[in-house]
Amino acid sequence: MIEVQSVSKSYGKKSNQFHALKNISFTIPDGSIVAIVGKSGSGKSTLMHVMSGLEPASEGTVTINGKVFENMKAKDIDVFRATEMSFIFQSFFIEPNQTSFQNVMLPLEIAMIPRNKRAEYVNAALEAVELSDKSDVKAANLSGGQKQRLAIARAIVHKPKLIFADEPTGNLDSATGEHIIELLFNLNKTLGSTLVIVTHDRELAARCQVQIKLKDGAIDEIVKKGNL
Ligand code: ADP
Ligand code: MG
């Protein structure tokens, strides 16, 4: 469960302080699919960064599975993030001089997956994003869409329970984008992974169980489906 309680985030010093998030509160049950929507500059990415412990809140608390970021050391947050969470950001961090296989292998080392299981995990993730045939190709030689898919393979390879995706389909054509979304929704179904997706896509947002709508850094509306 993710609990966001009275979270505010400001940038800059007193005189020209900018309030990117204003008193945000909500709860996300395990295994749900959540969309964060709102205009450009409304605070979607900032909210995702604060929710995932990448940036500290200025006020308020974020609790994930009973762990309060505020009370944790930076190093413990890093370990928690590496083992329990996964991130798909628009500016994907892939190693251009390593092959697809090597890129997808990286998180398994950090997440401490047993050595003899790793190749199997990597091959399954590459297959899921239809990059099996690029396994031995250097990432630098992939197209933009292939790099995005590689980033997604890397994000899902250790079968994380909590996935944060910031406009994961933003740079993709609609067919590839749909494929990636199906892949993420499938992880939710098979592993019960919680998905938190920032998106501009209204149709995609409408398919999510919870929509958190932001306006100027504040919650405009929270729309829930069914009996959540
Ligand atoms: P969104 O993802 O919805 O487009 P962001 O969360 O990236 O919006 O940004 C929300 C607001 O906070 C924007 O006005 C942005 O300029 C500001 N902002 C984001 N990060 C920083 C930062 N590191 N320093 C100062 N202002 C920032
Ligand atoms: Mg953003």
Does 226 score more than 80 pLDDT? Answer: no
Residue 150 pLDDT level (bands cut at 50, 70, 90): very high
Sheet holding 2-11, edge to edge: 18-28, 2-11, 59-64, 67-68
Give me ligand 1 centre to Cα 85, in Å: 22
Residue 145 pLDDT level (bands cut at 50, 70, 90): confident
Give me ligand 1 centre to Cα 43, in Å: 6
Residues 6+ apart with CB under 8 A from 91: none
| pLDDT score of 90 | 66
Residues with CB under 6 A from ligand 1: 11, 18, 20, 38, 40-46
Give, for ligand 1, the residue of 36, 45, 91 to mutate: max count of ligand atoms closer than 8 Å to Cβ: 45
Residue 16 vs residues 11, 12, 84, 203: alpha-carbon distances, Å: 9, 6, 36, 37
Region 65-73 average pLDDT: 88
Pairing, β 2-11 against β 59-64: antiparallel
- As a whole number, the mean pLDDT across the chain is 91
DSSP for 134-171, please give it: GTTSBGGGS-HHHHHHHHHHHHHTT--SEEEEESTTTT
Min mean pLDDT across 45-59, 73-87, 207-221 is at: 73-87
Does 89 score more than 80 pLDDT? Answer: no
Residue 178 pLDDT level (bands cut at 50, 70, 90): confident
Single pTM value for the model:
0.88
User: Among residues 107, 111, 151, which one has the least CA distance to residue 129?
Assistant: 151
